[in-house]
Amino acid sequence: MIDASNARAVAMEALESFQREDDRVRRAWPNAAIGEPELVHDVAGPPTYWLVPLVAQNRAIGFVRVDGNGRTIAMGTFCQTPDEIEKCPAIVTGITADEAAELARDRGNLTPDETAAQPRFVHDGPVGREVWLVETSRDGAPGRWLFVGRGGLYERAAGVRYGDPGRE
């Protein structure tokens, strides 16, 4: 797995290529910069890839996904024009780990004997399905996986992976 510095360098190369393209969206963000990479883990725990923000006017206007070997695997924008910059997320993860923890506490219907761990940024299933994972436990035994993002919260029993047979 490459480190954050290398992920930034790969993202910078991708951004430079992106900005050379003759496209309306790309022309809209001539001063985009590279922000701090966020490591994305598999729900089981191992790191999988980096999500590197493209930043303009203190907003995450887009992203570059960089795999563990230093290859660009995806690039995209959240915002089409600077006219609607306020609609862009403040950070590439959409919400902070602290905000994810708070939403899990507030909306996760935790029972009095249920403990919530610190959030981890994961991809729930395929690359690109990024969300904060808050694992819960009861008396040290796995409980639930609470997945928290800008759009809300959903849950599964701990250990049940996206697409597992028998899952609703």
Write the pLDDT tens digit of every residue in 34-53.
999 999 999 999 999 999 99
pLDDT at residue 19, rounded to an integer: 67
As a whole number of angstroms, the distance between CA 126 and CA 107 comes to 25
pLDDT tens digits, 87-134: 999 999 999 999 999 999 999 999 999 999 999 999 999 999 999 999
Q: Is the model's pLDDT at 166 over the cut of 70?
A: no
In the prediction, which pLDDT does 24 show?
63
pLDDT tens readout for residues 140-157 = 999 999 999 999 999 999
- Can you give the pTM of this predicted structure? 0.92
Q: Which of 4-13, 54-63, 78-87 is predicted with the least confidence, judged by mean pLDDT?
A: 78-87
Tokens 């701990």 found at:
158
Decide if pLDDT at 84 tops 50: yes
Q: Where are the domains of the chain?
A: 4-87, 97-157
N-terminal to C-terminal alpha carbon distance within the chain: 34
Give residue 80's pLDDT band: very low, low, confident or very high (50, 70, 90).
confident
Strand partners, 59: 56
- What pLDDT does 168 receive? 46
**CA atoms of 3 and 83, how far apart (whole Å):** 34
